[in-house]
Amino acid sequence: MKKGDWNCPKCEFMNFASNRKCLSCREPRLKRQLNPGEWECPSCDFLNYRRSKVCLKCNCNRPEEEAIYEYEDDQLWRRPH
């Protein structure tokens, strides 16, 4: 299994990282747990650092701030002052 490959939660088929749906049963891939500030490219699904304004893989622009976070405000890590 290579980095990013995933097992389907429904049928346990091993899929390549690029597959958005299971090739066996068509179950959608589960969303990855993102670290605070990270964002997933809407075009190629590459996981980018917060500081990246464009995707490091395909050069797609980072989505608007509201779309980046899947965390509640109280779950976000904040740098101490």
At 76 the pLDDT is 52
**Cα separation of 81 and 79, whole Å?**
6
The whole model's pTM is what?
0.46
At 69 the pLDDT is 47
At 78 the pLDDT is 52
At 80 the pLDDT is 59
At 25 the pLDDT is 97
32-81 CATH choice from 1.20.950, 3.40.630, 1.20.1070, 2.30.30: 2.30.30
Query: Residues of the chain whose pLDDT is less than 50?
Result: 66-75
Which amino acid belongs to residue 4? G
Domain with CATH 2.30.30 in the chain: 32-81
At 24 the pLDDT is 97
At 11 the pLDDT is 96
**Cα separation of 81 and 67, whole Å?**
26
CA distances (Å), 28 to each of 11, 33, 75, in order?
12, 15, 26
